[in-house]
Amino acid sequence: MDQEQTCGRQVIIIGAGPAGLTAAYELAKLDDNPIVIEKGDKVGGIARTEDYKGYYFDMGGHRFFTKVEEVNRKWREVLGDKFLRRPRLSRIYYNRKFFDYPLKPMNALLGLGLRQSILIALSYIRWRLRPYPEEETFEQWVTNRFGRRLFRIFFKAYTEKVWGISCSELKAEWAAQRIKDLSLKTLLLSMIVKPKKTITTLIDQFDYPQRGPGMMWNAFKGEVEKRGGSIRLNSEVVAIHNGGGKYIHSVEVACNGQKEVIHGTDFISSMPVTEFIKKLNPPAPPEVLLAAEKLRYRDFMTVCLIVNQADLFPDNWIYVHDPAVKVGRIQNFKNWSPHMVPDAAKTSLGLEYFCNEGDELWNMADPDLIELGKRELEHIGLASPADIDDGCVFRVPKAYPIYDSEYRDYLAIVKNFVSRVENYQTIGRNGLHRYNNQDHAMVTGMLAVRNLTTGEHHDLWSVNTDKEYHEEITGKSEPEIALEAVKEAFAQAFAKLDRLAFGFSIGATAGLLLFLATLFLVVKGGDVVGPNLQLLQQYFPWYTVTLPGSFLGLGYGFLAGFVAGWGFALLRNLSVFLYIALIQRRAERLLLRNFLEYV
């Protein structure tokens, strides 16, 4: 990067969520003085932490866990030791009962009852024997793995609450992306390289900033500003001015009723890609606008209730599968961090309602939503309305990009159009319309800055789709290289032993051995030539320790060796297949136990 280029560059970053802030932080470290434009009154985007009367509410609940070492380093670099290592406990509420989560067979059996458990087992067997031939939808994907009955109990209601569309409309691709961590290969490797360490850590405990994720994003904001960058809150980009569709030269920003045009040389944006398209001036082509219109999001609200009880329940959060209530998940923020609550005698809960912006639930008045929350909390049996002191509501629009049956085609059109704008990069969950976690969002911010400053060519759309994305950001470390070698060795070890080739090689060697042994004794001679070797005659008719016998021995040896080698290879391949099938079943059981992590 030459100095002239640095001096002449003015990067405008739209959105101060994890992706935008990371990009700003990286640029600020290079003395690039980025300008960050944020619509909201605080940083963090959809991973922000709201504050009400000293109580902190994490919008969605964000555990700090990543496999990308560079992201982990950044977290520590910015927040230092202000992390807590928290135990994790969560349960599922279904049919007026609480089930341990991750699911435990005995607990589930007792909760569901013997009859239901038998029906689940029968349904599982039926769908294992005759699965859907194609796995296009989420319903087909889960049913094929766990059976229809288990799908209905533990997957359907909650997933449909979260996504607001039928599981038969939700693409299977979403499930495959979200649960990639529990891949068969990872599981196999974990048995040898790191015995279940990563998975156990994820299940049992997690890191968390003392006052929620907002503490992290505020620290990022402080670092950016300290280094000369500026972050403008309450500033909404209302128009994006582009010249001929190839370059953006400025954005029009509305702040406190005033409008201002900000010019820049490069633009990085985490605003929803659909909004970007709609705000372009001159407008994008009609087909691109139509595609952007068709991309859908799911929104959610957190109804925050302050309960006059010191200790309500031990969980960090509870998944509510029961269709009798509208709430999808209940967060107990005090169990995330005791610093989230200013008064130790009270508890703060976040009742998460998944909805669509503008629908009946979204439009309900805050007091009505608080009443609804109180009623549902009482219905579940977690708290009495009389104990609830206060409450508030926070709305999070465009929290989740929806992977419906048509999204892929529309996204391709949008992506194609956006990729042609040369000084613009779209990042983050909504910028890429991809269900990325905060660490993946941060990776897109880092890679965008690398593309800009060092001329690298990272495809941001492939973050969290390509397994190697984290290698792009970190470079391969020695353990990773070693792991690659182990992976390759694994693939090699599980490869098929060619029956014909193995039979032939054993046969040829055995035949040759018998031929040489016979010939050796014939040449050696003596009164009685090879009386012991000749005993083979009992198995190989007409075989003798003579010159012609040596050739016969060659044939017999080849035949016997071939059969032995061929049979060995057959049994070996069969046992490998059975072993893999066993491992796959284990992986799927693990998947079932942890599935809700990924919804």
Partner 1 sequence: MAEDEKTLGKVVLTRLLRLNAIMQGVVTGIVAGLGIFIATNWLVLKGGDVVGPHLGLLGHFFIGYKVSFVGSFIGFAYAFVTGFLIGYFIARIYNRIVDVRERQRTIGS
The residues binding partner 1 (CB under 8 A) are: 135, 172, 176, 179-180, 182-186, 188, 491-492, 494-498, 500-502, 504-506, 508-509, 512-513, 517, 520-521, 524, 530, 532, 576-577, 580, 584, 587, 591
The C-alpha atoms of residue 20 and residue 270 are separated, in whole angstroms, by: 6
The 3-class secondary structure across 336-386, one letter per residue, is: HCHHHCCCCCCEEEEEEEEECCCCHHHHCCHHHHHHHHHHHHHHHCCCCHH
| Residue 286 to residues 289, 290, 302, Cα–Cα distance (Å) | 5, 6, 36
Residue 580's nearest CA partner among 185, 173, 239, 212 is 185
Q: Which is nearer to partner 1, 426 or 594 (CB)?
A: 594
The C-alpha atoms of residue 364 and residue 361 are separated, in whole angstroms, by 5
The two tokens of residue 247 are 């370059």
Q: Side chain identity at 329, as an amino acid letter?
A: R
Contacts (Cβ under 8 Å, ≥6 apart) of 326: 161, 353, 361, 372, 376
| Closer of 75 and 138 to partner 1 (Cβ) | 138
CB of 237 to partner 1, least distance (A): 36
Contact 486, 492 (CB under 8 A): no
Q: What's the min distance (Å) between Cβ of 464 and partner 1?
A: 12
Q: Closest separation between CB of residue 131 and partner 1, Å?
A: 13
Question: Is 272 or 503 the residue whose CB approaches partner 1 more closely?
Answer: 503
By three-state DSSP, how is residue 49 classified? Answer: strand
Residue 228 CB, shortest distance to partner 1, in Å, is 43
Q: CA 31 to CA 7: how far, in whole Å?
A: 9
CB 49 within 8 A of CB 211: yes
Nearest to partner 1 of 163, 558 (CB atom): 558
Shorter beta-carbon distance to partner 1: residue 8 or 526: 526
- Put residue 44 in one of left, alpha, beta given phi > 0 → left and psi -120 to 50 → alpha: left
Widest Cα–Cα separation across the chain? 118
Q: Does a cis peptide bond (omega within 30 degrees of 0) precede residue 385? A: no
Burial of 468 per CB tally in 10 Å (0-12, 13-18, 19+): exposed
Minimum distance from CB of 474 to partner 1 (Å)?
21
Contacts 24+ apart (CB under 8 A), 341-345: 341/55, 341/56, 342/53, 342/54, 342/55, 344/310, 345/308, 345/310
Residue 43, helix vs strand vs coil:
coil
239 versus 497: smaller Cβ distance to partner 1:
497
Q: In whole angstroms, how close is the CB of 468 to partner 1 at the nearest point?
A: 13
Shortest distance, CB of residue 527 to partner 1, whole angstroms? 14
Least distance in angstroms from the C-beta of 509 to partner 1: 5
Nearer to partner 1 among residue 49 and residue 159 (C-beta) = 159
Q: How far is the CB of 522 from partner 1 (least distance, A)?
A: 12
Residue with Cβ nearer partner 1 (115 or 524): 524
Q: For the chain, give the number of residues.
A: 599
In angstroms, the CA 65 to CA 116 distance is 36
By beta-carbon proximity to partner 1, the closer residue of 302 and 437 is: 437
List, in sequence order, every residue forming a beta bridge with 461; answer none if it has no partner: none
Q: Closest separation between CB of residue 525 and partner 1, Å?
A: 12
Residue 146 contacts residue 124 (beta carbons within 8 Å):
yes
Closer residue to partner 1 in complex, CB, 43/591: 591
At its nearest, how many Å lie between partner 1 and the CB of residue 592?
12
CA atoms within 13 A on the CB side of 32: 28
Q: By C-beta, is 239 or 576 nearer to partner 1?
A: 576
Decide if 312 contacts 383 (C-beta within 8 A). Answer: yes
CB proximity list for 350: less than 8 A, separation 6 or greater? 57, 58, 61, 302, 303, 304, 305, 330, 331, 333
Which residues are 352's β-sheet partners? 302, 329
Minimum CB separation from partner 1 for residue 84, in Å? 31
Q: 414 or 521: whose CB is closer to partner 1?
A: 521
Residue 537: CB minimum distance to partner 1, A: 16
**Between 454 and 532, CB nearer to partner 1:** 532
